[in-house]
Structure 1
Amino acid sequence: MTATNPIIGRCVAVSLVAFSLFAATPLLAEESAANPLSKVQQRLADGELTKIVCFGDSITGVYYHSGSKRAWCDMLGIALKIAYPNADLQMINAGRSGHTTVNALARIDRDVIAKQPQLVIVSFGMNDVARVPLEDYQRNMREIIRRCQDGGAKVIVCTPNAVSETEARPEAKLAQYVDAARSIAAGFKLPLVDLFDQWRRIRTEDPLGWSLLMSDEIHPNMTGHLRFAELIGSTISGRPIAFVETPAPLGTLQVTSDRLARKETIKLIAAPPYDTIVPEELKRLYPEAKFDLVVWPAKEQTIAAAAQWAKQIRGLKPHLVIPPLPPQAFAASQDEFIREYQWVLNYSLPQSGGAWDVVPILPLESPNETARQKKYLGLASRIIAGKDLLFIGRSPGETRSANEIVGDWFAGQKQIP
């Protein structure tokens, strides 16, 4: 598979519910009149080069919300490749932060038509609701679809996901744009992936689970992006697809390992005691390692104060960030803990592109946690997974020292030369 952003990682199991894709392949030509994606399915099954453009805003693009290295476009590529083992896929992410359908039309020739895709997945509306009148949004969406079809591509329409109520995006107003997207898809007889409906159902049935799908009020995290990929992949293939396990994060220590290999100084941001432990353990592995240390004063911080402190990290341009979980974090309410720890990690991550490494460390000082601490540590691990990150933590029954746990973790990372 060729891709704009290469997919690297361990083998990922994807469940194909119902019957085999290949058992259905001979029927695709017969079903083509009723199935607008039959030709795409046939190309995937036959191993013909298939270009898929994911065209949208920051919820489509690769930003810190999902870990800054990949997004649902990449996960969809993984799911389709495993669903169609012969597929020759090129996944092209054309998501841009802040963009509306107005911006989309201004760049559609360069970012979509010029790529000559076989399929375009269109997902706009989250920013239109704040800046573009509904009538203009409807007209622009129709024009986007026509332009893609004129270029020879099949089109899938995705509604924006449901959000937390904000002044800029009241849900009642967002629902009007969602209804417009549904109506436009129906008018063109296009497949629709109704993310808004799915997200509202999850929020109603499992409020905690919904909060752990989101990175902030409007952006899903990687856990949410995996769900997007499942829903869109199921629409493309015509049968349910579900991830059994999360794909392994990409290049967890790539920046650090490259600098260690070149014997360059590592600018490290860490809180005590890891401002000492991390350099000590890396120097055991690389005696010539050098560090420019910025101490994160987490011991005195609430979880909200830690999130505020983290706002400065991008301006510091580090190479390795070790986000802490402050001792006082366990005193926060569950809602506050989830919200603010999301922001601790959001601000620890680069805006996009993996410009530095981020390795959260959960408290290692004591092997004996209270029931509340165990609950919050479980929530923290799920939040970290939503940022597409690995972390260092104490396993149940683990009695080794913090130094030993950290040292063994770094030694076990294959990315370090």
Structure 2
Amino acid sequence: MHHRPLLLIPLMILLLPLNAAEPGSQPVLKPGGIFMFGDSTTAPRGAVKVYAGLIQAALLESGAAPGVHNAGVPSNTTVNALKRIHTDVLVHRPRLVVMQFGINDSTVDVWKKPPATRPRVSLEDYIANYRRLITLAQNAGARVILMTTNPLRWSPRMRELYGRTPYRPEAEDGFEAPFLLSYNEALRSLARELALPLVDVHAAYPAFAKRHQTDVAGLLPDGAHPGDLGHRLVAELLLPVIREQLQPLTPNKKD
């Protein structure tokens, strides 16, 4: 259809990372938006069509168009998230906050000298931080959707940096099995405990890859970050959950 290119300019404005504003300034955002709050697997990434943009386009097509704001920042852990949730998210009075953290929390920086031996954020602190993030968002009047992380696979660069104990470079999933899998499982348990919607991105990767005649690694060009197809998977999983959460509350439905 010929009118769709007209959407490019507003989409570019809506999806600028929030930390792209001039130093000392804050972008003025309309209350009631949707915030994608995460790390580099959420953040704008060059020419990659990230899931925040795909979600915004889909909502516009269906006639429901709350602003979708990309609050992803590379290298962030839940510790960083706690430090910036007020300024990057809550100050804008969001209607819905989608949270996806864990890859950086669970990473052991074995490339350092001397090499690290423990994750950047312990599993216990990761879940405690998530609890706090959820509480802060809900106390600000927002609904919360949680997402597990994407998988990790070996690429030449990742093998060079992380291909040693406790990681297992000889195993296909040896970049994620030692720690990330348990962080995702703990997040699933937290979502069940708090009765929060969970989009299980990690679990969906193998079947989605097979459907598109590739494997999990084929969805992760550098082993850690989704390409266009990986972001499409996230958008397909997330969109119906967002639509459900945008529905008004009824007496029998609670946040």
Structure 2 length as normaliser, TM-score? 0.69
Q: Which residue number in structure 2 is paired with residue 116 of structure 1? A: 93
CA RMSD of aligned residues (A): 2.5
Verify the 8 A CA contact 1:162 1:171 in the aligned structure 2. no
Q: Which residue number in structure 1 is paired with residue 104 of structure 2? A: 127
Verify the 8 A CA contact 1:123 1:159 in the aligned structure 2. yes
- The answer on 1:103 being equivalent to 2:108 is no
For the residues of structure 2 that align with 1:199 and 1:211, how far apart are their CA atoms?
10
**SS in structure 2 of the partner of residue 170 of structure 1:** coil
For the residues of structure 1 that align with 2:72 and 2:224, how far apart are their CA atoms?
15
**SS in structure 1 of the partner of residue 233 of structure 2:** helix
- The answer on 1:71 being equivalent to 2:50 is yes
Verify the 8 A CA contact 2:149 2:184 in the aligned structure 1. yes
Unaligned runs of 5+ in 2: 1-6, 13-29, 108-119, 168-174, 246-255
Alignment of 1:208-219 (within 5 A): 208-219=214-225
Deviation at 1:223, TM superposition (A): 1.7
Q: Which residue number in structure 2 is paired with residue 61 of structure 1? A: 43
Q: Which residue number in structure 2 is paired with residue 160 of structure 1? A: 149
**SS in structure 2 of the partner of residue 93 of structure 1:** strand
Q: Which residue number in structure 2 is paired with residue 194 of structure 1? A: 200
**SS in structure 2 of the partner of residue 127 of structure 1:** helix
Deviations 1:29-70 (A, max 9, x none): xxxxxxxxxxxxxxxxxxx97400000000000013xx16x5
Deviation at 1:206, TM superposition (A): 6.4
Verify the 8 A CA contact 2:39 2:77 in the aligned structure 1. yes
Larger Rg: 1
For the residues of structure 2 that align with 1:172 and 1:192, how far apart are their CA atoms?
23
Deviation at 1:134, TM superposition (A): 0.4
Alignment of 1:32-47 (within 5 A): none
1:181–1:75 Cα change, 3 Å: same
Deviation at 1:7, TM superposition (A): 2.3
Alignment of 1:286-301 (within 5 A): none
Deviations 1:226-247 (A, max 9, x none): 22111100222249xxxxxxxx
Deviations 1:312-371 (A, max 9, x none): xxxxxxxxxxxxxxxxxxxxxxxxxxxxxxxxxxxxxxxxxxxxxxxxxxxxxxxxxxxx
Aligned partner letter, 1:164? R
Q: Which residue number in structure 2 is paired with residue 178 of structure 1? A: 184
Q: Percent same amino acid among aligned pairs?
A: 35
For the residues of structure 2 that align with 1:195 and 1:237, how far apart are their CA atoms?
17
1:114–1:187 Cα change, 3 Å: same
Deviation at 1:203, TM superposition (A): 5.0
Q: Which residue number in structure 1 is paired with residue 3 of structure 2? A: none
For the residues of structure 1 that align with 2:33 and 2:51, how far apart are their CA atoms?
15
Poorly superposed stretches of 4+, deviation over 6 Å: 204-207
Verify the 8 A CA contact 1:50 1:88 in the aligned structure 2. no
- The answer on 1:91 being equivalent to 2:73 is no
Deviation at 1:94, TM superposition (A): 0.4
Unaligned runs of 5+ in 1: 9-47, 240-417
Deviation at 1:73, TM superposition (A): 0.6
**SS in structure 2 of the partner of residue 208 of structure 1:** coil
Aligned partner letter, 2:59? L
For the residues of structure 2 that align with 1:125 and 1:132, how far apart are their CA atoms?
9
Deviations 1:155-180 (A, max 9, x none): 00000011215646432421100011
